[in-house]
Amino acid sequence: MATATHTDTGSHTDTGSHTDTDTPALTVAKIGGRIGAEIGGVRLGGDLPDADVAGIRAALLAHKVVFFRNQEHLDEASHEAFAERLGAPVAHPTVPSADGRYALGIDSHHGARANQWHTDVTFVPAYPAFSILRAVTIPPYGGDTLWANTATAYAGLPEPLRALADGLRAVHSNEYDYAALRPDALPEALAQYREVFTSTTFLTEHPVVRVHPETGERTLLLGNFVQRIQGFTGRDSRALLDLLQAHIESPENTVRWQWQPGDVAIWDNRATQHYGVDDSDDHERTLRRVTVDGDVPVGPDGAPSRLISPETVPDPSFGIPSGASTSDTPAV
């Protein structure tokens, strides 16, 4: 486990090892009780000093989501080069990226809006460990993003509910009802997005409680890609999902970020859910996301996640397959 570099007082803590007095040291300041910190004193890029990368990673594991202001210098290439300092970038399994590389466009005028609580890409077994989101065009109002801490959500459950959750497995899929999510979208736009996003339909069984591979914390692994909990009727499954998800979404368990152009957010996708608030009317909102490869989750009993269909995760159009950088064994 990486060493946490924060203080619980919310005060700034120097963690960098700079000796050059012209370069401010990396600072970490909590912005919420259970989740979120703002990092200052760094200019993100592929050439970041090792000590700063280590400081960012430690803050990320401790606070689950970290924010940076004033990173306007980043473009697609340097965004990706910075991502490589945290791990191997991976392409989305089905959605083509904005420029044919790793950076996925999050655009209010195209595709689905993310106004559902979710963890990124949980419909495959080795879903991303980290997501790095960069603000390009921000609307004059609205369009905030919320994150929730799925480790504190688990820890805060009553003991009998934790014991129940420990034994549950849930099926995640990228096929769900887009029309219900986007009642205002044109039918052609919905059909086009559905065709791309679900060009391959994935079904993956994950443990409902994931043991975090770096911190050892237990986290709740749910979100809007979940279809059902194994072994329960539809009605019981829904009731259980709603019960557990409510602990994740509790306001005290979340942090909300108001974007400015040039902002960057990085989250530990293994310990969070997030929600893009869809309240900026028709104003343009454009962000770019690069995801870093993750490994196959395991539950408290050590049982790994399992791909149900298709038989294997197809190789992306470029780059490494999902989970290739962190796992020696194929997803089973």
Q: Give the Cα separation of 218 and 26 in Å (integer).
A: 29
| Residue 274 is among the residues annotated as catalytic for this protein | yes
Crossing angle of helices 234-249 and 159-166, rounded to 10°: 120
Question: Please, what is the minimum distance in Å from the beta carbon of residue 121 to Fe ion?
Answer: 8
3-state class of 162 per DSSP?
Answer: helix
CB of 87 to Fe ion, least distance (A): 18
Only one of the segments 13-21, 25-33, 108-116, 219-227 lies at the binding site for Fe ion (rule: CB under 5 A); that segment is 108-116
Residue nearest to Fe ion (CB): 120
Close Cβ partners of 200 (under 8 Å, ≥ 6 residues apart): 93, 94, 310, 314
Q: Which residue in 57, 63, 92, 120 is the catalytic one?
A: 120
114 vs 271 by CB, closer to Fe ion: 114
Nearest residue (CB) to Fe ion, 17 versus 258: 258
Write down the least CB distance from residue 275 to Fe ion, Å: 9
Name residue 60's amino acid.
L
- Is 289 assigned a catalytic role? yes
268 part of the interface to Fe ion, by CB under 5 A:
no
**Per the omega criterion (within 30 degrees of 0), is the bond before 213 cis?**
no
Q: How far from 110 is each of 12, 131, 194, 263, 291, CA to CA, in Å?
A: 39, 20, 12, 21, 20
The count of residues interacting with Fe ion (CB under 5 A) is 2
Catalytic residue among 274, 285, 288, 293: 274
Contacting Fe ion (CB under 5 A), which of 52, 80, 120, 263?
120
206 included as an active-site residue: no
Is 210 catalytic? The answer is no
Closest CA to 275 of 267, 283, 238: 267
Q: Which residues bind Fe ion (CB under 5 A)?
A: 114, 120
Catalytic residues: 118, 120, 274, 289
